[in-house]
A and B are shown apart, each in its own frame.
Chain A
Amino acid sequence: MAQILSPLPGTFYRSASPDQPPYKADGDAVSAGDVIGLIEVMKSFHEVRAETAGKNIRFLADNEEPIMAGAPIADLD
């Protein structure tokens, strides 16, 4: 099992904009380099990418909620 950690403090978003579907849904497989969310830091947006491939992604961080640097965003099998 692997964990994806937040690289920055800020607000976590699961989709590119409110009217778009999430980058990944719970249970999706991810490839290394896939965008799984965005962190907004002081009005600038930074993509969060999976560093390794994995199956069955399970999000731990909630959409549009504050997140600390180093906090877990999702688990991967």
Chain B
Amino acid sequence: MTEGGQRQRTLLRGTLSLLAAAAVYEAMARSGYFAPALLPTLPTVARTLVASVADGSIIEHAAFTLYRVMFGFALSVAVGLPLGILMARFSRVEHFFLPLVSALMPIPSFALVPLFMLWFGIGNLTTILIVFYAATFPMMFNTWSGVRSVNPLWLRAAGAMGADEHKLFWKVIIPGASPFIITGMRQAFLRSWIAVVGAEMIAASDWGLGWVIFDAKEFLNTDVMLASLVVIGLIGFMFERFIFGSLERMTVLRWGMMRAAKG
């Protein structure tokens, strides 16, 4: 089977399962057992979505959410990646941070939102910091594992060919740890995306997809809530599929360091 044919089949299968789920929902919404205000039909949700895209409001909300996510995520990579590397390379750093990571990682970032609100107020700073908190640990942890899993034979071969510490780091350790680093980024982004919506619900005022959902509850606007959920899901999916997917295809999949998922 050609690669294009394979991809088409995968797409078809994905569409089919989504359609089936949508059909079940629509049947429930139209069954008459539930109040239409609580379970709006899909055409209603679609109309709300189209209208909010047309007037630009949902796009603006999404832009705010994305801004917070990207800021927090970028910070988490900037901090988590070097820390993970330092942990793997120096046992003192490892001994210091490992207990800290173990203690802090299980705390859901959402549980910190009220505290951060008191400390940093309502708005971007708090949401960005929540995202940062959620994303840094998976980034750090995966990088740490990645550097430790670098094949010693590569280090030996590179050393025999005259690589010094600096070259060893950039030319062997970083690319050698890349499957883990990319996985770390993926997980960090996913956590960011989950964290931002929660943080926005209580710690953001007026803007952001999380805030839209929370605000819509006041007026029983379930169609707005569902439309926002669709946007949240779609953006997350696109990042996962296109950004991280192509990052993987360009690097670790091309190098054969990771196998492609079965279509």
Is B one of A's binding partners? Answer: no
Interface residues, chain B, with chain A CB atoms under 8 Å away: none
B-binding residues in A (CB < 8 A) = none
